[in-house]
């Protein structure tokens, strides 16, 4: 207990040092930088801003409330990491869930590791830290890898060294981004697994990808069954027909463009059938009660 009290007192002492304008630390060469950089400091929450480079976009409100309840009872066990951007201004590098939960509880301060980093280093740290999380979906990981390539100019070999993953593993994640956006959304929502996605990647035509994706959902196909369908798809697939025996490819151009808009909005491939007189029918599929309620909320929100 004595050690914990001493550590907290040290944190408060360093916090006071940071609030002194005459000791404004902007680089590792500045006076007293060694006392601050890499140490745990009780930092005022109001001084911290969310990282604009944060690669994670989905935060479960329920899980944050659960974390807030835990923090209220036990305190924050693992400090967040921030980078100093200006006097009394800091930017989150990692720990946004803890930061949000602490604000929800109403804490005035939060334990934080202080780092000095430029924008590129901050982005790389946030991306690499994000990839190491256990609760990320495959698409989120793939997008983080892609940002390391596009914005940090890392090669797959360099990424392999940074994150401790095999180059082949990284390549498999990146290939998922070739899937139709609707399928990527389905993977993020947990409707299909990464194994299903990897099987679908071998098909270049995204309209065919979507056909098989709908079969996976409606028939609850396993990864192995999906792989078998993909192998045999070229010889067994028959073109879809409308009621007047015209193929889906014969739909008017405005229908083809509209299907994409509807499909992206509802998160499923929407079926549109048009007769020769121009009348038609739009079918919106759903695959569970949860999926139905999700679509219902989209419609209610559009009113």
How many angstroms separate the most distant Cα atoms in the chain?
Answer: 84
CA distances 110 to 28, 55, 81, 92, 163, Å, are 23, 22, 10, 12, 27
pLDDT of residue 107: 93
Average pLDDT over residues 77-101: 83
% of residues, the chain, pLDDT over 90: 14
| Nearest partner of 259 among 249, 273, 271, 246, judged by Cα | 271
Max mean pLDDT range (53-62, 100-109, 140-149, 264-273): 100-109
Q: How far apart are the C-alpha atoms of 181 and 164, rounded to whole Å?
A: 28
Q: Is 161 known to be catalytic? A: no
Helix axes 119-131, 138-151, angle to 10 degrees: 150
Out of 49, 61, 96, 227, pick the active-site residue: 96
* pLDDT-based confidence at residue 27 (cuts at 50, 70, 90): low
pLDDT digits (tens, 9 = 90+) for 208-237: 898 899 989 988 999 999 998 888 875 444
Is the CB of residue 14 less than 8 Å from the CB of residue 35?
yes
pLDDT digits (tens, 9 = 90+) for 164-219: 888 888 889 999 998 988 898 889 888 999 999 999 998 988 888 988 999 899 88
Average confidence score pLDDT of the chain: 76
Q: What is the DSSP letter of 21?
A: G
Least confident of 13-17, 89-93, 145-149, 293-297: 13-17
pLDDT digits (tens, 9 = 90+) for 267-302: 667 777 777 777 777 888 776 677 777 777 777 766
């Amino acid at each position: 207990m004595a050690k914990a009290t001493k550590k907290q007192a040290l944190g408060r002492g360093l916090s006071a040092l940071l609030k002194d304008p005459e000791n404004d630390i902007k680089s590792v060469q500045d006076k007293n930088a060694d006392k601050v950089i890499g140490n745990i400091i009780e930092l005022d929450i109001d001084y911290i801003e969310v990282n604009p480079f944060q690669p994670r976009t989905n935060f479960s409100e329920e899980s944050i409330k659960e974390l807030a309840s835990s923090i209220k009872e036990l305190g924050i066990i693992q400090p967040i990491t921030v980078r100093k951007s200006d006097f009394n201004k800091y930017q989150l590098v990692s720990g946004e869930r803890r930061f949000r939960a602490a604000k929800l509880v109403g804490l005035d301060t939060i334990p934080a590791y202080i780092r000095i980093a430029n924008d590129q280093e901050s982005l790389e740290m946030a991306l690499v830290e994000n990839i190491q999380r256990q609760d990320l979906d495959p698409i989120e990981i793939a997008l983080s890898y892609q940002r390391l390539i596009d914005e940090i100019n890392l090669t797959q070999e360099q990424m392999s060294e940074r994150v401790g993953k095999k180059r082949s593993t990284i390549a498999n994640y990146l290939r998922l981004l070739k899937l139709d956006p609707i399928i990527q959304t389905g993977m993020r929502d947990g409707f299909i697994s990464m194994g299903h996605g990897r099987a679908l990647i071998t098909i270049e035509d995204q309209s065919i990808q979507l056909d098989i994706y709908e079969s996976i959902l409606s028939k609850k196909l396993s990864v192995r069954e999906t792989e078998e369908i993909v192998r045999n798809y070229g010889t067994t697939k028959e073109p879809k027909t409308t009621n007047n025996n015209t193929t889906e490819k014969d739909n008017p151009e405005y229908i083809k463009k509209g299907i994409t808009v509807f499909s992206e909005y509802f998160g499923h491939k929407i079926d549109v059938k048009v007769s020769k007189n121009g009348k038609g029918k739009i079918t919106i599929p759903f695959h569970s009660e949860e999926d139905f309620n999700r679509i219902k909320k989209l419609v209610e929100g559009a009113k």
